[in-house]
Structure 1
Amino acid sequence: MNFLAHLWLTERAGLPLAGAVLGDVLRGRLDGRLPPQLERSIALHRRIDVVTDAHPLVVQARAVFGNGQRRYAGIVLDVLHDHAMALAWPAMPEALDAFALRAARAVADPGAWQLAVNRPAPDAQRFAALLRSYREETGIDESLARISARLSKPQLLLDAAAGWRTRMPTVRAEHPILMADLEAAALTFVVGAAQGGEV
């Protein structure tokens, strides 16, 4: 899952939203040096990634990508599921614009970023604009281009993403099923953590 889905799932789990993004940034073992709720939030991000990668719908969707593209298929699918979520957002009780700004302000907590990775937090307004951009096809194109630019071989991701629009009917049809399963996994994780389970 990409930012929008991670933020929604983290909020459903009642955990700090900064962890939904820091889970992509902070590497290594969580060792208790961060506030417990922030560590749980980062751990939830990691758990959601594991559950997503193993989900039968995602495994099946990755298999449709050509040889040499499957390595990047998960990244492409994560972004496409955020697009599907943004397109379906009118069914949510809170408007996407309002959620994006509220979530971005929570993510931009400077204390959490300083503690976790010792670097500045993202700018809230720019991050909110990024979340809103997932509604638009151009926003998806730009997101995939930004991600590819961080890779050593960017063209491989761009090749995997080519023709992503043709994948959207399947992604949109499967998105509610996947999100329901991920929400259940998130809530189960929170209950386990509250009972002293492994974070």
Structure 2
Amino acid sequence: MAPMNYLAHLLLSPPDAAFRVGNLLPDLVHLPEQEKFTGRYREGIEMHRRIDAFTDAHPVTRRSRERLWPTYRRFSGIIVDIVYDHCLIERWRAYHPCSLSDFLDEVRSGLPPLEADLPETTYRHIRSITQWAGDYATLEGVSDAMKRVGSRLRRPVDFSGLYPELERHRQGFLDDFDCFFPQLLAATGIDAQAVQSAS
């Protein structure tokens, strides 16, 4: 699977391990498998869909994608997903009281009781997300992630020229994120103060 905005989905979840996992599952398993999950998993899956629907249709995220046209138009959605996780890390203290590493440690600590509920590869992938999501702290990390995506495609795509484009639009992406993310919180019914005080 391609790397997506996993960090945002984790942050925009209550501190409940099954809900958090559910909020990742649509990017990790096919729809028929998703339908097998109930309870808090199901609530997380539904939250993921609301987040994605709002994000994909928003004019600000479209503006972010257009910054990468025409060279990366086909992949601009994936790139912006990852870039927004980079922006979230840049703004992390505005949205969560703990450090990013402590937050990811806490997410990871809640996973073992869920292992039996998940396909083995999915469980391993989710654990790995909590270990490398912090790599998006730099635009080099974003670029490297896309290079890995490109190398795994059926027809490989060269993303070696992406980093200069990301650097050129760094401030624009941050401005877009600062406009968009509070609106996403409101649209998903999440109180920013609640997110900030979550532990």
Which range, TM-score by smaller chain? Answer: 0.7 to 0.9
- Mapped to 2, the partners of 1:176 and 1:15 lie a distance apart of 29
List alignment gaps of at least 5 residues for structure 1.
189-199
- 1:2-30 residue CA offsets vs partner (Å, 9 max, x unmatched): 01111111238997111122120122257
Choose which of 41, 44, 53 in structure 2 pairs with 1:50: 53
- Mapped to 2, the partners of 1:31 and 1:65 lie a distance apart of 32
- 1:95-118 residue CA offsets vs partner (Å, 9 max, x unmatched): 11101111233456313323xxx6
Partner in structure 2 of residue 95 of structure 1: 99
Partner in structure 2 of residue 197 of structure 1: none
Partner in structure 2 of residue 7 of structure 1: 10
Higher mean C-alpha deviation, range 137-146 or range 12-21: 12-21
- Residue pair 2:29, 2:122 contacting (<8 A) in 1 also: no
- Residue pair 1:72, 1:156 contacting (<8 A) in 2 also: no
- Residue pair 1:110, 1:121 contacting (<8 A) in 2 also: yes
Partner in structure 1 of residue 44 of structure 2: 41
- 1:68-96 residue CA offsets vs partner (Å, 9 max, x unmatched): 62221011111111111111113331111
Higher mean C-alpha deviation, range 33-42 or range 160-169: 160-169
Counting aligned pairs with the same residue, the percent is 23
1:107–1:5 distance in 2 versus 1, CA, 3 Å = farther
List alignment gaps of at least 5 residues for structure 2.
191-199
- Residue pair 1:69, 1:156 contacting (<8 A) in 2 also: no
TM-score normalized by structure 1? 0.77
Partner in structure 1 of residue 170 of structure 2: 168
- Residue pair 1:12, 1:183 contacting (<8 A) in 2 also: no
1:80–1:137 distance in 2 versus 1, CA, 3 Å = same
1:14–1:97 distance in 2 versus 1, CA, 3 Å = closer
Higher mean C-alpha deviation, range 70-79 or range 173-182: 173-182
Task: Return the letter of the residue paired with 2:172.
Answer: T
- Mapped to 2, the partners of 1:30 and 1:123 lie a distance apart of 16
Task: Return the letter of the residue paired with 1:53.
Answer: D
TM-score normalized by structure 2? 0.77
Residue 16 in structure 1 maps to residue 19 in structure 2: yes
Q: Which runs of 4+ in 1 moved over 6 A?
A: 12-15
**Count of paired positions:** 185
Choose which of 56, 80, 84 in structure 1 pairs with 2:83: 80
